[in-house]
Amino acid sequence: MPSRPPAVIGAPVGGIETPALVVDLDLFDANVKRMQAAATSAGVRLRPHGKAHKSPDIARAQIAAGASGICCQKISEAEAFVAAGITDVLITNQVVDPAKLTRLPALASQARIGICADDPLHISRLSEAFAGTGREIDLYVEINVVKGGGRCGVLVGPAMVSLARMAAEASGLRFAGLQAYHGRAQHLRTPAEREVAVGGAVSLVREARELLAAAGLPASRVTGAGTGTYLLEAHSGVYDELQSGSYALMDADYARNEPGSAGHFAHALKLHATVISTAVPGQAVLDVGLKGVAVDSGLPAAEGLTVRGVSDEHCVVVQPEGSPLACGDRVALIPGHIDPTCNLHDWFVAVRGGVVEALWPIAARGGGL
């Protein structure tokens, strides 16, 4: 159960308690529409990543706009989305703990659920978890599409084909296709760098599809891509589905990408904060720190302000020349990285025309079991 929300519906923006994550609904709606239009016009499905926002309300808005379902990273996230009525969820991650896996058949009785594997252990444990339940799960073999790096994902080759065969033959599993996400490409700064990186991923996916087809195990779906590269995968001819997530709300790190042909999405999310101290000359201190904003991808940004540093409970900004901030003033920050920042809060405050229109629980947040 989340904590008390920082606002009431109908309140003016200035009446929101801080720190609070505030969503501008006009900008949000436009972002959601734009990504969906890009997917639709390229003839691919959009399955937005829920790990960015962890909000069933945002997932519902994305599905209402045309998305085919939602992605998430943990079984606990999938449970939160399914409990809120989302009926198609792909867990783009590996799970090995048998105690966690036993929660999946119940989920699969309420929604279409998919999950990834890059090791025989994942498949054998999943099959054990589904044995005798009469339920099935979509199994995506995750392939590593990052040259010389990456995190999870089997190398394209015989081991990948073996996993696909094992999935196709295991009871309780449907071999559904390939998970092929190039995480590192999302934050390469120039369009040319991103093209080279995704070009490499596309070659590997093509090779993987050919190997699987030759083995009589066609990949009916290949899913991947993110906000930094979605047009490349959409028009690759080998991806069927996009997993972009950050586009709906955006953050300062994605805005540091040179946009290329796709342009930037709007900063629909701001972190509202209040000045609590101006006692040290030349600076103002805000009522939010590391416990309200993640700094793994850089400091938060703020229009007309320079953020000097973030500590546990405080954010220090340089006093602007001419119009210094005073205690009680409000500041709107753009978080450096949206995913871990949203994870720190229990609520989005959704605002239109300066008035609070909705309160969205960040229901899938948390360290996550």
d(CA 343, CA 294): 9
Q: How many helices (H) and strands (E) does the chain have?
A: 11, 16
Measured from the CB of residue 324, what is the shortest distance to its own copies in angstroms?
13
Provide, rounded to whole angstroms, the least separation between the CB of residue 3 and its own copies.
6
CB of 365 to its own copies, least distance (A): 8
On whether the CB atoms of residues 176 and 138 are closer than 8 A, the answer is yes
* Chain positions contacting its own copies, by CB under 8 A: 1, 3-4, 6, 17-20, 51, 73-74, 76, 93-97, 99-100, 118-119, 121-122, 142, 144, 149-155, 183, 274-281, 285, 287-288, 290-292, 294-296, 310-314, 316, 327-328, 337, 339-340, 343-346, 365-369
CA distance 353 to 300: 24
DSSP 201-220: HHHHHHHHHHHHHHTT---S
Min CB(142)–its own copies separation in Å: 8
CB of 166 to its own copies, least distance (A): 14
DSSP state of 305: B
What are the backbone angles phi and psi of residue 212, rounded to the nearest 5°?
Answer: -70, -40
Beta bridge partners of 113: 89
Q: Closest CB to its own copies among 63 and 95? A: 95
**In angstroms, how far is the first alpha carbon of the chain from the final one?**
16
Alpha helices in the chain (DSSP H): 25-42, 56-64, 75-83, 98-101, 104-108, 120-130, 158-169, 191-214, 230-234, 252-255, 338-342
- Distance (Å, rounded) from C-alpha 355 to C-alpha 96? 45
CB of 321 to its own copies, least distance (A): 20
Question: In the complex, what is the shortest distance from the CB of residue 318 to its own copies, in angstroms, rounded to a whole number?
Answer: 13
By beta-carbon proximity to its own copies, the closer residue of 144 and 244 is 144
Residue type, 133: T
Q: Which two tokens stand for residue 103?
A: 């929660």
Nearer of residues 38 and 59 to its own copies, judged by Cβ: 59
Q: Which is nearer to its own copies, 65 or 294 (CB)?
A: 294
* β-strand partners of 302: 305
Q: Are 222 and 238 in contact (CB under 8 A)?
A: yes
* CB of 149 vs its own copies, minimal distance in Å: 8
Instruction: Select 64 or 280, whichever has its Cβ closest to its own copies.
Output: 280
Handedness of CA 168, 172, 178, 183 (dihedral sign): negative
- The Cα–Cα gap between 190 and 188 comes to 6
Nearer to its own copies, 57 or 287 (CB): 287
Nearer to its own copies, 7 or 86 (CB): 7
- Nearer to its own copies by Cβ, of 3 and 261: the residue is 3
Residue 35 or 95 having the CB closest to its own copies: 95
Q: Smallest distance, Å, CB 153 to its own copies?
A: 6
